[in-house]
Amino acid sequence: MVPLIVLLLVSAVAGFAADPPKKAFPYAYDQQDLPNGLRLITVPTDFPNVVSLYIVVQTGSRNEIESGKTGFAHFFEHMMFRGTKLFPTDKYTATLKEVGASSNAYTTDDRTVYHTTFSKQDLERIMAMEADRFQNLDYSEAAFRTEALAVLGEYNKNNAAPLRKMDERMRETAFTKHTYQHTTMGFLADVKDMPNQFAYSKVFFDRWYRPEYATIIVTGDVAPAATKALVDKYWGQWKHGSYTAAIPTEPAQSGPKEATVDWPTATLPWIQVAFKKPPYDDMGVENAALDLISFLGFSENSPLYRKLILEDQKSDVLYADTPDRVDPYLFNVTARVKKQEDVAQVRESILSTMAGFKDSLVSQERLDQVKSHLRYQFALSMDNSEAVASTLASFVGLKRTPETINRLYDAYAKVTAEDIRNVARKYFNENGRTVVVLVGGKQ
């Protein structure tokens, strides 16, 4: 039998030579909703014996709407490993070790994801243990304060890296109302005060750790019916909540913004050029067009990369980032510059490249090559069950269904050179521009 991943690659490469394949996400999946609002997505794969369980909570720093209360979504990424009365920390950790499972979690602006990979015979055991901690998390005020101090330590460690500090400054500068103004770590003053917020932590958990905000993804050597039976058994009693948050709307930016980060020690200068971009949308072409622009203009195959990195050697790092977010976010180009006196020239080169998309049409041949590459790259990334679950988690956190992947890649296929130009004209204007420069100190 030909492995599925080989068929995916053949399909991805051939897709743009003729008609694009109908489904970018190649696996059959089963999607079920429990009465309490919990969603289950089961994806059988042809990778034997291994199962990945990803639990996506649609709660991130975006949900932290109260003043002085930032950082709690990330905090619970930590706190969820504190255990329950039935599975306290030591027993939880020992169980994972006993079955040879790998387990971790991460937090973004829009979601918190808990993931565990293990042998298929341990599915019920892991499912029961995860259900218990989501429904019965238990921690003392002393444990809370200890973990809050650990989060402060992580904040300080992260902000010892120039790019982390730049991201923080970019958000603080680009956003004035929306909760994307702060990183997933939160504002420093709030993180410092977190040990005093034990009562609020219970409120935050009660609001957001509810089935209507959660999706369970199970991939690997599994059967949908048996998986659904386990979820009904262990998660069916989880109570639906009643809380919804009014996420503040960011007002339209009325002019260009700039900020400087003075780094205390010697380091090469960095520059970030960002423009406001629309929220994730899998039905229109705007997001797809911006993704294509990021590759056309700033990837290692781009003319600007060749000029700045290889020919003129003004920079040694260049990339664009167009993260998908539930609400409007940023199209961000980042460069590290070798000499401080070249920062202005690198900035102008980035802005000139972006303006070029407004002024002229990209070639159809080049556009088709990039579309094919993105589809091929996506197919290549799903080479094991954990990778499939991880990919799904990032999309499920936005639209709560694997089908959004197929709709997005259909949108890529529809993007024309005119769409590229129209989107660039709409979003790459100075009223939506924010530039942050990081300047290193002298040794």
pLDDT digits (tens, 9 = 90+) for 65-108: 999 999 999 999 999 999 899 999 999 999 999 999 999 999 99
| Architecture of domain 257-440 in this structure | 2-Layer Sandwich (3.30)
At residue 123, does pLDDT exceed 50?
yes
Query: Considering just the CA atoms, what is the radius of gyration of the chain in Å?
Result: 23
Confidence of residue 314 (pLDDT cuts 50, 70, 90): very high
Would you state the pLDDT for residue 104? 96
**What average pLDDT does this structure show over 123-130?**
97
Q: Is 277's pLDDT higher than 90?
A: yes
**φ/ψ of residue 56, rounded to 5:** -100, 120
Name the DSSP class of 251.
P
Q: What is the pLDDT of residue 4?
A: 44
**Whole-number Å distance between alpha carbons of 98 and 122:** 10
Higher pLDDT, 18 or 432: 432
**pLDDT at residue 21 in the model:** 54
Distance CA 329, CA 319 (A): 17
Please state the rounded mean pLDDT for residues 163-174.
96
Amino acid letter at 109?
D
The reported pLDDT for the residue numbered 160 is 87
Nearest Cα to Cα of residue 243 among 58, 8, 367, 414: 58
Give residue 442's pLDDT: 66
CB distance 338 to 314 below 8 Å: yes
- Provide the terminal-to-terminal Cα distance of the chain, rounded to the nearest Å: 61
Domain residue extents for the chain: 29-235, 257-440
Q: Do domains 29-235 and 257-440 have the same CATH topology?
A: yes
| Cα 46-50-52 angle, rounded to 5 deg | 100
- Residue 57: phi, psi to the nearest 5? -105, 120
Task: Give me the DSSP letters along 166-213.
Answer: HHHHHHHHH-SSSGGGS-TT--HHHHHHGGG-HHHHHHHHHHHSSGGG
Angle at 35 between CA 32 and CA 37, to 5 degrees: 75
Q: How confident is the model at residue 159 (pLDDT cuts 50, 70, 90)?
A: confident
Prediction pTM value: 0.92
d(CA 61, CA 64): 5
pLDDT band at 441 (very low <50, low <70, confident <90, very high): confident
Q: Answer yes or no: is pLDDT of 176 > 50.
A: yes
Q: In what order do the strands lie in the sheet with 102-107?
A: 30-33, 39-44, 214-220, 50-57, 112-119, 102-107
User: How do beta strands 102-107 and 329-337 pair?
Assistant: unpaired
Mean pLDDT of the residues in the chain: 93
Question: Domain 29-235 - what CATH class?
Answer: alpha beta
pLDDT tens digits for range 212-233: 999 999 999 999 999 999 999 9
Cβ neighbours of residue 66 closer than 8 Å, sequence gap 6 or more: none
Three-state SS at 3:
coil
Q: What is the pLDDT of residue 13?
A: 41
Report pLDDT for 148.
Answer: 95
> What pairs with residue 270 in β-bridges?
336, 438
Burial class of 441 by CB neighbour count within 10 A (0 to 12, 13 to 18, 19+): exposed
CA-CA distance, 140 to 142, in Å (whole number)? Answer: 5
pLDDT band at 9 (very low <50, low <70, confident <90, very high): very low
pLDDT of residue 6: 40
- How far is it, in rounded angstroms, from Cα 262 to Cα 260? 6
Query: Looking at residues 272-298, what average pLDDT do you find?
Result: 97
d(CA 195, CA 144): 7
Dist. CA 201–CA 142, nearest whole Å: 13
Question: Residue 46 contacts by C-beta under 8 Å, 6 or more apart in sequence?
Answer: 3, 4
Rounded mean pLDDT, 235-254: 96
Answer yes or no: is pLDDT of 209 > 50: yes
Residue 19's pLDDT band (cuts 50, 70, 90) = low
The closest of 339, 344, 334, 333 to 314, measured between CA atoms, is 339
Length of the chain: 443
Q: How confident is the model at residue 411 (pLDDT cuts 50, 70, 90)?
A: very high
In whole angstroms, give the CA distance from residue 113 to residue 59. Answer: 9
189 bridge partner residues: none
Q: DSSP states of 313-359 as a string?
A: --EEEEEEE----SS-EEEEEEEEESSGGGHHHHHHHHHHHHHHHHH
Q: Residue 413 — pLDDT band, cuts 50, 70, 90?
A: very high
Helices (H), 260-321: 286-298, 303-305
Q: For the residues 120-140, what does the mean pLDDT come to?
A: 96
Q: b/e map of 156-185 (b: 16 or more CB within 10 Å)?
A: eebeeebeebbbbbbbebbbeebbbbbbbb
pLDDT top residue among 132 and 5: 132
Q: For residue 7, is pLDDT > 60?
A: no
Mean pLDDT of 256-269: 95
Question: Cβ(102)–Cβ(117) under 8 Å?
Answer: yes
